[in-house]
Amino acid sequence: MPEMLASIKTQGNKIEIVNQLLLPHTTEYLEINTIEEAHDAIKSMKIRGAPAIASLAALAFAANLSKALEISPVPSFLSSPEALEAHVTPMLDYLYTARPTAVNLGAATRRIARKLQSSKDVGNDAITIAHELVAEARLVSDEDYARNVKMSENGGRWLARIHALQPNERLNVLTVCNTGSLATSGYGTALGLITYLYQTQQLGRAYFTQTAPYHQGSRLTALELQTLEIPSTMICDTMVGSLFQHHKIHAVAVGADRIARNGDTANKIGTYNAAVLAARHNIPFVVVAPISTVDLDITNGSQIPIEHRLPTEACVVRGALYPPVLDAEGRREQAQVMITPPGLDSDKENVYNPSFDVTPAELITAIVTEKGVAQRKEGENVFDLSGIV
């Protein structure tokens, strides 16, 4: 199978991310040298996907602290545990503000903060604590790949089982947005499930929505599926109902940015639409996400903060010029063009542009994590997630 794309590359303290705003026509790696650059990359969506942004934030934090440990004489904030805490806490708080809906980012910063506290509690000095924080932060990224593979396997096996898949049968699966290796530290969540089915010869065809206005589907999921040579078909967001009417679709598989205790799930805008239509056509709707996406502190989806993007982002599209125009280096030239009347983007009241919507638990058939698969009990509209977190 061809090699998967990578959203983040690291070598020691060097961090590079692929600028996803330029994909699929230009592959440009950006070096991330500071906490501020990491924050900007996340906020501007040069990197996106809940697991990936958590990984970048943690890796940037680790690199920042690791570089400080190499300085002689050591910086003053390494003089005592208290000074270290005063230095790193605002840093973690700042990283969390980049994109508040994705709970993985908050889970990563809280994990590092807990390690700081536990290391202080056992009486470690500032240097020891700093080394432990670096190691803990890097684990956020390192652990992501293995759990993605596991949850994809869990979901794929469950899906094949509920359809009583025979040896020569194949599953057709629709997904929304981009949840593959570009959205994670590798393999993916919902797109990982599709990849698992393909690798085990159980996939017929993958379908994916374009996912306006950022077109994560048509730009990123399309690129990943092409790279992996997985049979696939793109549809416009408004074509989901038609697809269900005219083609046999065995499941809808989506990722998640935050899952409430009752199973309500925030994910990329358009997910709720797909869930409603899936319910109408009796198609299983499956959420695939790591344990870190489950937020047990909130009871339901009404408590999930929903990020609203700038009006302009819904009024413009970017891509390569067509017919193709090559620059001096032989790369396709890209442009950003406005598709709405002048001035529409001047006021947020003119454009409704939430980045996420919330799918109620009652529309979700199963929630899959690296620990297993949860289904709603018969007659109930909410999930008991205790067995998979």
What are the strands, taking DSSP E only, across 274-363?
A: 285-288, 294-295, 316-320, 334-338, 356-359
Query: What does 109-141 look like in DSSP terms, one character per residue?
Result: HHHHHHHHHHHHHTT--HHHHHHHHHHHHHHHH
Q: What order of strands is seen across the sheet that includes strand 8-11?
A: 8-11, 14-18, 29-31
Q: Which amino acid would we find at residue 21?
A: L
What residues are annotated to the active site? 257
Tokens of 319: 């891509």
Which among 185, 184, 206, 209 has a CA at the least distance from the CA of 195? 206
Beta strands in the chain (DSSP E): 8-11, 14-18, 29-31, 171-175, 203-209, 232-235, 251-254, 258-260, 265-268, 285-288, 294-295, 316-320, 334-338, 356-359, 366-369, 372-375
With contact defined as beta carbons under 8 Å apart, do 194 and 230 qualify? yes
Residue 101 in contact with residue 258, Cβ under 8 Å?
A: yes
Q: What is the DSSP letter of 4?
A: P
Task: Confirm if 180 and 152 have CB atoms less than 8 A apart.
Answer: no
Is the Cα dihedral 308, 311, 312, 313 positive or negative? positive
DSSP for 31-91 reads: E--SHHHHHHHHHTTSS-SHHHHHHHHHHHHHHHHHHHHTSSSPPGGGSSHHHHHHHHHHH
